[in-house]
Copies of this chain bind each other. A is one copy, B any other.
């Protein structure tokens, strides 16, 4: 892999997370965003992230000084070997920006889109070099959480998927190649399912946001840091594992526990959700919460690595 210079297009929460991760792994990064004050916010975000990427380990030569900002997208992407797109989740906007990138980038530069839900075939449809586009969907905070879902579109070449995978692995990420295009890829479908049901519960006045959060984290959530929905149920089945679990809880699947459609996002629901979260923060500022979460995740990440079953087995073997 010969990537040396990466361009980051769009410097919101996700774009800035990518920048910190890329700098930490020794890349030159050039960022661009048309918003007023974007560069200043970006530099602040990188400063805030830096202690955490340091704790996870910097590559040789990694430096915040290797970050530059360009006002014009064309200037940002023209010399880049890899371009990560992170503009707002609006299909037309993403298509326009990608067309712009496609036009000004080197023809063999790879393009990853951070889209949460849009399928890569739709993103690459009108480009001159569609074969170099993948979806590469990370998770906030991008500079700590290891997962990136990589999805190829119909026109993406296998060679370019392999190159993209190698690049994200060079960022110390856990690459999940999603083999079929679906809206929301995989992880966000599960997150959305939790989210919709949570909104229903709050909307119907069954529980507050804080109660929902407590109900989730103190029980299931602690398990999900390590094992996903399948292995969790496999373990909950006792010695019979999933085999027993499906027999025992199969019938309950048909019970109307969950709501099928999303609730209307009324003003009332909006206010209830927003004020619920603000109360839960209990006087901690966003940056205090953020720092608290980061310190936790750094230590949790070590734990997850240490206790990951496959790695343990491989190490033993």
A residues apposed to B, CB below 8 Å: 12-13, 88-89, 116-117, 138-140, 145-147, 149, 174, 176, 178-180, 182-199, 201-202, 205-207, 209-231, 233-239, 241-243, 246, 248-250, 252-262, 265, 270, 273-274, 276-278, 280-284, 286, 289-290, 292-293, 295-297, 299-301, 303-304, 306-307, 309-310, 312-313
The closest CB in chain B to the CB of A149 belongs to B215
Complex CA gap A313/B281 in Å reads: 9
Complex CA gap A214/B301 in Å reads: 14
Q: Which of B187, B198, B270 is A216 in contact with, Cβ under 8 Å? A: B187
Q: Which residues of B contact A206 (CB under 8 A)?
A: 178-180, 182, 186
CB distance from A194 to the nearest CB of B (A): 5
CB distance from A129 to the nearest CB of B (A): 27
Given A192-B258, A242-B273, A313-B283, A221-B226 contact (CB < 8 Å): yes
Q: Give the oligomeric copy count.
A: 2
Complex CA gap A198/B227 in Å reads: 13
Pair A220/B197 contact, Cβ less than 8 Å = no
Complex CA gap A281/B230 in Å reads: 11
Q: Which of A191, A255, A295, A310 has the most CB of B within 10 A?
A: A191
CB distance from A246 to the nearest CB of B (A): 6
Pair B187/A219 contact, Cβ less than 8 Å = yes
Complex CA gap A295/B308 in Å reads: 11
Pair B226/A296 contact, Cβ less than 8 Å = yes
Complex CA gap A277/B241 in Å reads: 9
CB distance from A201 to the nearest CB of B (A): 6
Pair A233/B274 contact, Cβ less than 8 Å = no
The closest CB in chain B to the CB of A285 belongs to B239
Can you list 27 A-B pairs with a CB-CB distance of less than 8 A?
A89-B248, A89-B252, A140-B235, A140-B236, A145-B222, A146-B218, A176-B211, A178-B211, A182-B201, A183-B256, A186-B207, A186-B216, A187-B219, A189-B257, A189-B258, A192-B197, A197-B260, A216-B224, A226-B297, A231-B289, A235-B293, A242-B273, A243-B274, A280-B309, A289-B309, A295-B307, A296-B304
